[in-house]
Structure 1
Amino acid sequence: MLRYTLMRLGIFVGCLVAVWGLVYVGVFPRGLGDSNGMWIILLALLISAPISYVALRKERDRASVQVVNRVDRMKANLDANRGQEDVADDTARTQEQTS
Protein backbone atom coordinates (compact mmCIF):
# COMPACT_ATOMS: atom_id res chain seq x y z
CA MET A 1 0.00 0.00 0.00
CA LEU A 2 2.84 2.37 0.83
CA ARG A 3 4.49 1.54 -2.47
CA TYR A 4 1.34 2.49 -4.41
CA THR A 5 1.01 5.73 -2.47
CA LEU A 6 4.63 6.68 -3.11
CA MET A 7 4.32 5.85 -6.81
CA ARG A 8 1.19 7.96 -7.05
CA LEU A 9 2.91 10.83 -5.25
CA GLY A 10 5.87 10.51 -7.63
CA ILE A 11 3.61 10.79 -10.67
CA PHE A 12 1.95 13.87 -9.16
CA VAL A 13 5.29 15.53 -8.38
CA GLY A 14 6.50 14.80 -11.92
CA CYS A 15 3.34 16.36 -13.35
CA LEU A 16 3.68 19.31 -10.98
CA VAL A 17 7.23 20.01 -12.16
CA ALA A 18 6.21 19.61 -15.81
CA VAL A 19 3.19 21.91 -15.46
CA TRP A 20 5.23 24.48 -13.54
CA GLY A 21 7.81 24.44 -16.33
CA LEU A 22 5.16 24.81 -19.02
CA VAL A 23 3.50 27.69 -17.18
CA TYR A 24 6.88 29.33 -16.61
CA VAL A 25 7.73 29.06 -20.31
CA GLY A 26 4.29 30.36 -21.29
CA VAL A 27 2.76 27.28 -22.90
CA PHE A 28 -0.03 27.20 -20.30
CA PRO A 29 -1.70 30.37 -19.00
CA ARG A 30 -0.56 31.71 -15.66
CA GLY A 31 -4.03 31.71 -14.09
CA LEU A 32 -6.06 34.63 -12.83
CA GLY A 33 -4.36 37.21 -10.67
CA ASP A 34 -2.67 35.61 -7.68
CA SER A 35 -4.04 32.13 -8.37
CA ASN A 36 -0.92 30.92 -10.17
CA GLY A 37 0.13 28.41 -7.50
CA MET A 38 -3.35 26.96 -7.14
CA TRP A 39 -3.71 26.80 -10.92
CA ILE A 40 -0.47 24.81 -11.25
CA ILE A 41 -1.49 22.36 -8.48
CA LEU A 42 -4.98 21.81 -9.90
CA LEU A 43 -3.67 21.29 -13.41
CA ALA A 44 -1.05 18.83 -12.13
CA LEU A 45 -3.78 16.91 -10.26
CA LEU A 46 -5.94 16.85 -13.35
CA ILE A 47 -3.11 15.48 -15.48
CA SER A 48 -1.69 13.02 -12.93
CA ALA A 49 -5.03 11.32 -12.09
CA PRO A 50 -5.57 9.55 -15.44
CA ILE A 51 -1.86 8.77 -15.74
CA SER A 52 -1.92 7.12 -12.30
CA TYR A 53 -5.12 5.27 -13.15
CA VAL A 54 -3.58 3.70 -16.26
CA ALA A 55 0.06 3.33 -15.23
CA LEU A 56 -0.55 1.96 -11.72
CA ARG A 57 -3.32 -0.53 -12.50
CA LYS A 58 -1.32 -3.60 -11.42
CA GLU A 59 0.00 -1.92 -8.29
CA ARG A 60 -3.50 -0.75 -7.37
CA ASP A 61 -4.77 -4.32 -7.74
CA ARG A 62 -1.99 -5.58 -5.44
CA ALA A 63 -2.82 -2.93 -2.85
CA SER A 64 -6.50 -3.85 -3.10
CA VAL A 65 -5.72 -7.51 -2.41
CA GLN A 66 -3.69 -6.49 0.65
CA VAL A 67 -6.56 -4.40 1.98
CA VAL A 68 -9.08 -7.20 1.41
CA ASN A 69 -6.82 -9.70 3.19
CA ARG A 70 -6.38 -7.34 6.13
CA VAL A 71 -10.14 -6.80 6.41
CA ASP A 72 -10.78 -10.55 6.24
CA ARG A 73 -8.25 -11.16 9.05
CA MET A 74 -9.91 -8.48 11.20
CA LYS A 75 -13.33 -10.04 10.61
CA ALA A 76 -11.98 -13.48 11.53
CA ASN A 77 -10.45 -12.07 14.72
CA LEU A 78 -13.72 -10.36 15.64
CA ASP A 79 -15.67 -13.57 15.03
CA ALA A 80 -13.21 -15.53 17.18
CA ASN A 81 -13.53 -12.97 19.99
CA ARG A 82 -17.32 -13.10 19.75
CA GLY A 83 -17.18 -16.89 19.95
CA GLN A 84 -15.02 -16.73 23.08
CA GLU A 85 -17.40 -14.25 24.68
CA ASP A 86 -20.39 -16.45 23.83
CA VAL A 87 -18.73 -19.50 25.40
CA ALA A 88 -17.82 -17.53 28.53
CA ASP A 89 -21.36 -16.14 28.78
CA ASP A 90 -22.93 -19.58 28.31
CA THR A 91 -20.62 -21.05 30.96
CA ALA A 92 -21.51 -18.30 33.43
CA ARG A 93 -25.25 -18.78 32.84
CA THR A 94 -24.96 -22.55 33.26
CA GLN A 95 -23.12 -22.09 36.55
CA GLU A 96 -25.80 -19.65 37.78
CA GLN A 97 -28.60 -22.07 36.95
CA THR A 98 -26.94 -25.01 38.72
CA SER A 99 -26.23 -22.98 41.86
Structure 2
Amino acid sequence: MNPSAVKSQFIQAVLAEAKQRWGEEKWVVNLTKEYIKVLHANGDTEATVVNRRRSVERALVEETCNLENLIALAHCVGCRIQLKCIREEILIA
Protein backbone atom coordinates (compact mmCIF):
# COMPACT_ATOMS: atom_id res chain seq x y z
CA MET A 1 0.00 0.00 0.00
CA ASN A 2 1.47 3.30 -1.08
CA PRO A 3 -0.31 6.34 0.42
CA SER A 4 1.37 8.72 -2.04
CA ALA A 5 0.11 6.70 -5.00
CA VAL A 6 -3.44 6.72 -3.62
CA LYS A 7 -3.28 10.50 -3.08
CA SER A 8 -1.95 10.92 -6.62
CA GLN A 9 -4.86 8.92 -8.05
CA PHE A 10 -7.39 11.16 -6.32
CA ILE A 11 -5.60 14.31 -7.50
CA GLN A 12 -5.36 13.04 -11.07
CA ALA A 13 -9.07 12.20 -11.06
CA VAL A 14 -9.99 15.75 -9.97
CA LEU A 15 -7.60 17.23 -12.55
CA ALA A 16 -9.12 15.08 -15.31
CA GLU A 17 -12.64 16.18 -14.32
CA ALA A 18 -11.61 19.84 -14.37
CA LYS A 19 -10.02 19.51 -17.81
CA GLN A 20 -13.03 17.64 -19.16
CA ARG A 21 -15.46 20.20 -17.76
CA TRP A 22 -13.63 23.40 -18.78
CA GLY A 23 -11.01 22.32 -21.32
CA GLU A 24 -7.22 22.48 -21.37
CA GLU A 25 -7.13 26.26 -21.73
CA LYS A 26 -9.66 27.32 -19.09
CA TRP A 27 -9.65 24.69 -16.36
CA VAL A 28 -7.38 26.60 -13.96
CA VAL A 29 -9.32 29.86 -13.98
CA ASN A 30 -12.75 28.19 -13.81
CA LEU A 31 -11.75 25.74 -11.10
CA THR A 32 -10.26 28.61 -9.12
CA LYS A 33 -13.51 30.59 -9.44
CA GLU A 34 -15.48 27.64 -8.09
CA TYR A 35 -12.92 27.10 -5.31
CA ILE A 36 -13.25 30.74 -4.26
CA LYS A 37 -17.00 30.23 -3.86
CA VAL A 38 -16.33 27.32 -1.49
CA LEU A 39 -13.77 29.35 0.47
CA HIS A 40 -16.15 32.32 0.77
CA ALA A 41 -18.94 30.01 1.95
CA ASN A 42 -16.58 28.77 4.66
CA GLY A 43 -15.58 32.23 5.87
CA ASP A 44 -12.45 33.04 3.86
CA THR A 45 -13.66 36.35 2.45
CA GLU A 46 -10.17 37.49 1.42
CA ALA A 47 -9.68 34.71 -1.13
CA THR A 48 -9.66 35.90 -4.75
CA VAL A 49 -8.93 34.32 -8.11
CA VAL A 50 -5.76 36.41 -8.30
CA ASN A 51 -4.34 35.25 -4.98
CA ARG A 52 -5.43 31.59 -5.28
CA ARG A 53 -5.03 30.71 -8.96
CA ARG A 54 -1.39 29.62 -8.74
CA SER A 55 -1.95 27.57 -5.59
CA VAL A 56 -4.91 25.74 -7.17
CA GLU A 57 -2.85 24.92 -10.26
CA ARG A 58 0.15 23.83 -8.18
CA ALA A 59 -2.06 21.68 -5.92
CA LEU A 60 -3.18 19.56 -8.87
CA VAL A 61 -0.30 19.74 -11.35
CA GLU A 62 2.50 19.37 -8.80
CA GLU A 63 0.33 17.23 -6.48
CA THR A 64 0.90 19.41 -3.41
CA CYS A 65 -2.75 19.22 -2.37
CA ASN A 66 -3.72 18.36 1.20
CA LEU A 67 -6.85 16.34 1.97
CA GLU A 68 -8.99 19.32 3.01
CA ASN A 69 -8.27 21.20 -0.22
CA LEU A 70 -8.64 18.05 -2.31
CA ILE A 71 -12.13 17.49 -0.93
CA ALA A 72 -13.05 21.11 -1.74
CA LEU A 73 -11.57 20.93 -5.26
CA ALA A 74 -13.39 17.66 -5.94
CA HIS A 75 -16.64 19.34 -4.92
CA CYS A 76 -15.88 22.14 -7.40
CA VAL A 77 -15.85 19.68 -10.31
CA GLY A 78 -18.97 17.84 -9.16
CA CYS A 79 -17.20 14.94 -7.46
CA ARG A 80 -16.97 13.65 -3.93
CA ILE A 81 -13.93 12.01 -2.37
CA GLN A 82 -15.11 8.86 -0.64
CA LEU A 83 -12.79 7.38 1.93
CA LYS A 84 -13.55 4.33 4.01
CA CYS A 85 -11.77 2.85 6.95
CA ILE A 86 -11.94 -0.92 6.60
CA ARG A 87 -10.47 -3.32 9.13
CA GLU A 88 -8.29 -5.95 7.50
CA GLU A 89 -7.01 -9.14 8.99
CA ILE A 90 -4.05 -10.80 7.39
CA LEU A 91 -3.96 -14.50 8.00
CA ILE A 92 -0.73 -16.32 7.38
CA ALA A 93 -1.07 -20.02 6.85
Q: Same fold (TM over 0.5)?
A: no
Return the TM-score normalized by structure 2: 0.35
The TM-score with structure 1 as length reference comes to 0.34
Q: Is the helix fraction higher in 1 or 2?
A: 1
